[in-house]
Amino acid sequence: MMQDHEAVEAALHARRDIPPAPVLGEDHAHHDAPAIVDGEAHAVAPHEAIMAAFGHMVDAPDGAVGPAPVVAPAPTSAEFLSQALGSPIDQDRTHMIPTQFHRFWSGGKMSDDAMASLTESAAKTEDTMFQNNLWYSSHLERAMDGGGVVSPENQELRGGQREQLAALGYNVRDIAELLQDDPRPQSRMDRFLGRPAETRTPGRLTQSDMATMAGKATEHVQAGGADRWDGVKHISDMARLMYLNEVGGHHLDVDMGLGDMDLSRPYFHNDPAGRVPLMGAVTATNDDPIADALAAVGPGHDRDLRDPDTAAAGVRVAEQARDMTGMLNGMIASRPGNPNLVAAIEQLRVDAVHPQADIPSGMTANPRLLHGAGPLPADRSVARNQAVPPYLFDLQHLTEESDNR
């Protein structure tokens, strides 16, 4: 695996001078754009406005046409997304995201489909600057194994899968390595000598925090019901925020593939302040109506965003990705030490460690990921646009594993 500083610097240098794509205004990005025909304005669909901006033929009402066709290369995905969203995508180079991929799986063994997705990712990242990580929670597995939730046979299969992935280059890591020891209670002598009480670092959980969450999740599974795995899922939600805050990189759920993502380069926050993470989950199931649009612009075939049908699909995917930043968390990328990650962790922790509360879904903290601590802004569109990753079309959003959720 290429992990050296020169490889990252070389890729960064090659892209420092990428010219910014022209960005349509808000009205062009989200509404029908005007075309001038015989001196009058007529509505043009958003994808047609995008093609017009790149100098391509646009059909207008009454047989009139827009700009004359020109010979020009198809827009890149980042240029297209910048146009579709009315916001610069992949143009800022201030805050680089570490070249690390992270997945989380804890409990029983993974399905064959999930293993196939992770195995494929290992093959695609070989001899690139990217490193794969598979995280799990020993606290959760001690509770589940000891509680009879995971059989000894399943435990053995789980261990075998991790050995296979380690052999393929994955770093198999326990989330416990990121936990903080429980603060020591302040003694009388400490108070007498004026020693400050030990405190928990914001954005970090303690050993007892995770033990509490593991116990809750195990009890939830044992209680049965359609939602019995929610506690385990919500520990996964917390874990991804923890390792992104500590290590940084790109988290993907195990049912998402790398597709045609360009692994010869690092990626950056679109937000110049480096606070808004990239969030590219569009849907969680294959039966979502957006699946057809994803197939039209997704990996595995030549993508020509000058084609009207492909452009229309691209606009649909871009807008749904923007809208889903407030709801889904299957793909998150960030630099380490991001204050927005800390704000999200702190919000989730309140109920996660409370004895009488359920572990909350990580998606309830998405507004904190986008906007940080404090009052939420009246206009939330800026952060939602900044969260869309330049590799949105390149990812394999839906796999066979998506139907196992």
Domain residue spans of the chain: 5-9+97-404
Structural tokens at position 138: 């020993």
In Å, how far are 19, 49, 258, 291 from 29, measured between CA atoms?
20, 8, 27, 22
Q: Which residues of 55-84 are buried (b: 16+ CB within 10 A; e: fewer)?
A: ebbbebeeeeebeeeeeeebbbbbbbbbbb
User: Rounded to whole angstroms, how far apart are CA atoms 93 and 290?
Assistant: 31
Instruction: Report the topology of domain 5-9+97-404.
Output: Spore Coat Polysaccharide Biosynthesis Protein SpsA; Chain A (3.90.550)
Per-position pLDDT tens, the chain of length 405: 444 445 444 444 444 444 444 444 333 344 444 333 333 433 445 666 666 665 554 444 555 555 555 557 889 999 999 999 999 999 999 999 999 999 999 999 999 999 999 999 999 999 999 999 999 999 999 999 999 999 999 999 999 999 999 999 999 999 999 999 998 887 778 777 778 888 999 999 999 999 999 999 999 999 999 999 999 999 999 999 999 999 999 999 999 999 999 999 999 999 999 999 999 999 988 889 999 999 999 998 889 999 999 999 999 999 999 999 999 999 999 999 999 999 999 999 999 999 999 999 999 999 999 999 999 999 999 999 999 999 999 999 988 787 676
Q: Are strands 249-252 and 100-104 parallel, antiparallel or unpaired?
A: parallel
Entry pTM: 0.85
Neighbour tally for 151: CB within 10 Å: 11
Q: What is the pLDDT of residues 33-90, one digit of tens each?
A: 433 333 343 344 566 666 666 555 444 455 555 555 555 788 999 999 999 999 999 9
End-to-end CA distance of the chain: 31
- Phi, psi of 354, rounded to the nearest 5 degrees: -75, 130
- Measure Cα distances from 229 to 59, 241, 307, 361, 371 in Å: 51, 19, 43, 12, 29
* Three-class SS state of 146: helix
Q: In what order do the strands lie in the sheet with 100-104?
A: 171-174, 131-136, 100-104, 249-252, 331-334, 278-279
Report d(CA 325, CA 282) in Å as an integer: 8
pLDDT tens digit sequence for 161-212: 999 999 999 999 999 999 999 988 877 787 777 788 889 999 999 999 999 9
Q: What percent of the chain has pLDDT over 70?
A: 82
List Cβ neighbours of 281 (8 Å cut-off, separation of 6 or more): 253, 256, 321, 324, 328, 329, 330, 331, 397
In this structure, what DSSP letter does residue 328 have? -
Distance CA 284, CA 270 (A): 24
Q: How far is CA 363 from CA 84, 137, 287, 359, in A?
A: 25, 20, 21, 12
Q: Report the Cα 123 to chain-centroid distance in Å.
A: 21
What value does the mean pLDDT of the chain take? Answer: 87
Positive/negative CA dihedral, 30, 31, 37, 40: negative
